[in-house]
């Protein structure tokens, strides 16, 4: 088997195929694994994540993948989320003893950044989501943006800005007027309503690159290999099959089956025009738009933060991660990473403007940072971070199977039902591996089930299934 691309989609398909006994050659263009969810060394010697990545309890396939490659113990799990608003008020999001879908209702009822009528309206909208029982594509959500759906359910501008956007813009990396309501409703159903564990935040306790140490061993244990700095230039294709891949430098390699696991905007350049013309699925990839994320790294001369992370309301900065604390020192808040999802407004701004803006916000939230000296700052703008989950975008996401008998696709952009996330990427990798095993006559399942709906949420989920 040849897998092209060493991001989570390629890695998960390669590890699954190796588990099934296949010899896999994984070809990755860059000198390290992990793709968009990776870390690397800057020219000044500092090792940084491409951007802070987090996972949620409802991401069952990513969880399974980390377990397979021995990375689970490198993920910290947090069940207490702290939101800070412009007035410095802190809200806690934590499960109470109530069963799902009511476990977060107490936190919501006490949410100090909104007035009582807004909290009650949010509760009603959450109940409307719970009643759907996970069937989120139809009814009053069909064809709508998340913003339209929220307005339809009487959410005030302030509730949208101070509650719904805070969760959804980070989870989906898009503004609510450009987000398919189905994706937004899915986030709340899977992470906040269906199961008490769904909202728990998983945060890597090591640089992202260290999560993939076990992948190479898993692939090599079955006689396979990982080739870094192996940039595939094109695929050679007949009418029915892929015949081989051409790698930079002129080398050619061939295999029984191929998984193409590169980002959606890199796919078409590798395929012959003839194939793109013959399969509308490929040409439709041009219709998927991308959305940006900006990460800002700050190093201070002293500790400026004690919490492991904070979520900010009413500001450009959305999250602050205390990297020193997450990594277990040295220092307990000297190295911080800030994240701005759907960062369209920051793209045209200079690096210095972004540093000034984020530093000013940080100093408002963290009093210790006011006196501290900023030693170093790094801004990483990812203009094409993820595909945009626009209304109707699911139409343009191809299946992992193609019309060529030995050619399969993987990537967060393929049809998984999930937005562009690490979970979506792993699902696509598992689905591609399942499709290959079915094609060679030895079907096997890798895909993990969602967390089971509990309590009243289970009743709502079952009601629709009858
Ligand atoms: C800044 C940022 C923050 C994010 N935050 C989160 C988060 O907090 N939580 C979350 O769940 N998701 C997050 N995501 C999304 C997540 O990173 C992606 O959805 C996921 O990593 C995509 O994996 P992938 O394997 O599909 O693609 P990629 O990771 O892009 O992997 C594709 C690989 O293919 C390689 N490649 C490309 N062309 C070739 C070629 N010609 N030959 C060989 N190899 C090639 C690339 O080098 C790359 O390694 C974030 C993304 C970004 C950019």
pLDDT digits (tens, 9 = 90+) for 258-296: 999 999 999 999 999 988 988 888 999 999 999 999 999
**Higher confidence at residue 411 or residue 239?**
411
Q: Is the Cβ–Cβ distance between 339 and 51 less than 8 Å? A: yes
Q: Is the pLDDT of residue 331 over 80?
A: no
The finding on whether 233 has its CB within 6 A of some atom of ligand 1 is: no
Confidence of residue 464 (pLDDT cuts 50, 70, 90): low
Cα 364 to its chain centre, rounded Å, is 29
* Residues in the chain, total: 466
Q: Tell me if residue 200 falls in helix, strand or coil.
A: coil
Residues sharing a CB contact under 8 Å with residue 272, sequence separation 6 or more, in sequence order: 234, 235, 237
Sign (positive or negative) of CA dihedral 389, 393, 396, 400: positive
Q: How far apart are CA 199 and CA 94, in angstroms?
A: 9
Helices (H) and strands (E) in the chain, counts: 17, 20
Whole-number pLDDT of residue 141: 95
- The percentage of the chain sitting over the pLDDT mark of 90, rounded to a whole number, equals 94
Q: pLDDT-derived band of residue 332, with 50, 70 and 90 as boundaries? A: confident
**Residue 264 CB–ligand 1 contact under 6 Å:** no
Binning pLDDT at 50, 70 and 90, where does residue 239 land?
confident
37 CB within 6 A, ligand 1: yes
Mean pLDDT of 290-310: 97
Neighbours of 449 (CB within 10 A): 7
Extended beta strands in 43-96, E state: 47-49, 55-56, 75-78, 81-84, 90-93
Average pLDDT over residues 173-178: 98
Cα 362 to Cα 66, 237, 305, 347, 465, distances in angstroms? 32, 53, 10, 20, 47
Q: Does the C-beta of 35 come closer than 6 Å to ligand 1? A: yes
Statement: residue 391 has pLDDT above 70 = yes
357-364 contact pairs (CB < 8 A, 24+): 357/316, 358/296, 358/298, 358/316, 358/317, 359/298, 361/312, 361/315, 361/316, 361/317, 362/298, 362/304, 362/317, 362/320, 362/336, 362/338, 364/86, 364/315
CB of 5 sitting under 6 A from ligand 1: yes
Residue 315 CA to residue 288 CA, distance in Å, equals 28
- Say what the pTM is: 0.97
Q: Is the pLDDT of residue 160 over 70?
A: yes
- Listed range (12-21, 38-47, 258-267, 424-433) with the worst mean pLDDT: 38-47
Q: Which two tokens stand for residue 11?
A: 């890695």
Instruction: Label residue 454 by pLDDT band (50, 70, 90).
Output: very high
User: In 176-328, where do the E strands start and end?
Assistant: 201-204, 225-227, 232-237, 242-247, 252-253, 258-260, 290-300, 309-312, 319-322
Return contacts of 239-243, CB within 8 angstroms, 24+ apart.
240/404, 240/405, 241/404, 241/405, 241/406, 241/407, 242/404, 242/406, 242/407
Q: What is the pLDDT of residue 88?
A: 87
How high does pLDDT run on average in the chain? 96
Measured CA distances, 39 to 207, 284, 313 (Å): 6, 31, 28
- 432 in helix, strand or coil? helix
Pairing between strand 407-409 and 258-260?
parallel
Q: Both tokens of residue 297? A: 């790294």
Query: Which residues lie closer than 8 Å to 458 by C-beta, 6 or more apart?
Result: 100, 452
298, pLDDT greater than 80: yes
Query: Which is the closest atom of ligand 1 to the Cα of 231?
Result: 42
Burial of 250 (0-12, 13-18, 19+ CB in 10 A): exposed
| Pocket residue to mutate for ligand 1, from 4, 5, 76, 261, most atoms within 8 A of Cβ | 5
- 7 in contact with ligand 1, CB cutoff 6 A: yes
Helices (H), ranges, 78-115: 105-109
End-to-end CA distance of the chain: 42
Residue 465: the pLDDT is: 55
Ligand 1, from 4, 7, 266, 383: best to mutate by most atoms within 8 Å of Cβ? 7
**pLDDT higher than 60, residue 466:** no
With a 6 Å cutoff on the Cβ, whether 4 touches ligand 1 is yes
């Amino acid at each position: 088997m040849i897998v092209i691309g060493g991001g989570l989609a390629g890695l998960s398909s390669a590890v699954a195929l190796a588990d099934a006994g296949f010899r896999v050659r994984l070809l990755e263009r860059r000198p390290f694994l992990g793709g968009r969810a990776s870390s690397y060394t800057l020219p000044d010697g500092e090792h940084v994540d491409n951007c802070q990545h987090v996972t949620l309890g409802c991401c069952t396939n990513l969880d399974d993948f980390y377990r397979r490659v021995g990375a689970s113990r490198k993920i910290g799990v947090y069940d207490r989320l702290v939101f800070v608003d412009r007035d410095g008020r802190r809200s806690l999001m934590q499960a109470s003893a109530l069963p799902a879908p009511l476990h977060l209702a107490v936190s919501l009822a006490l949410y100090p950044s909104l007035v009582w009528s807004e909290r009650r309206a949010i509760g009603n909208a959450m109940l409307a989501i719970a009643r759907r029982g996970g069937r989120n594509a139809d009814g009053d959500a069909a064809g709508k943006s998340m913003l339209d759906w929220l307005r339809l359910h009487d959410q005030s501008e302030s509730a949208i800005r101070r509650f719904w956007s805070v969760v959804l813009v980070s989870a989906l990396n898009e503004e609510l007027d450009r987000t398919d309501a189905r994706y937004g409703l899915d986030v709340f159903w899977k992470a906040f309503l269906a199961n008490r564990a769904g909202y728990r935040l998983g945060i890597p306790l090591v640089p992202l690159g260290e999560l993939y140490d076990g992948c190479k061993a898993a692939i090599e244990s079955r006689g396979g290999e990982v080739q870094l700095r192996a940039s595939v230039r094109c695929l050679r294709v007949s009418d029915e099959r892929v015949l081989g891949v051409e790698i930079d430098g002129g080398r050619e390699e061939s295999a029984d089956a191929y998984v193409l696991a590169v980002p959606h905007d890199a796919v078409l350049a590798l395929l012959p025009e003839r194939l793109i013309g013959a399969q509308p699925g490929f040409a439709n990839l041009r219709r998927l738009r991308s959305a940006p994320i900006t990460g800002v790294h700050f190093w201070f001369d002293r500790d400026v933060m004690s919490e492991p992370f904070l979520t900010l309301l009413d500001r450009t900065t959305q999250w602050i991660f205390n990297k020193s604390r997450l990594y277990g020192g040295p220092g307990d808040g000297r190295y911080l990473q800030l994240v701005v999802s759907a960062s369209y407004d920051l793209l045209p701004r200079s690096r210095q403007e972004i540093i000034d803006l984020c530093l000013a916000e940080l100093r408002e939230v963290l009093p210790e940072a006011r006196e501290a000296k900023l030693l170093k700052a790094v801004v990483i703008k990812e203009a094409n971070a993820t595909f945009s989950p626009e209304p109707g975008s699911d139409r343009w996401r191809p299946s992992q199977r193609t019309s060529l008998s030995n050619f399969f696709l993987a990537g967060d952009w393929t049809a998984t039902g999930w937005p562009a996330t690490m979970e979506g990427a792993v699902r696509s990798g598992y689905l591609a591996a399942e499709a290959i095993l079915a094609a060679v006559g030895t079907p096997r399942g890798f895909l993990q089930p969602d967390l089971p709906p509990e309590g009243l949420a289970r009743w709502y989920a079952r009601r629709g299934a009858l």
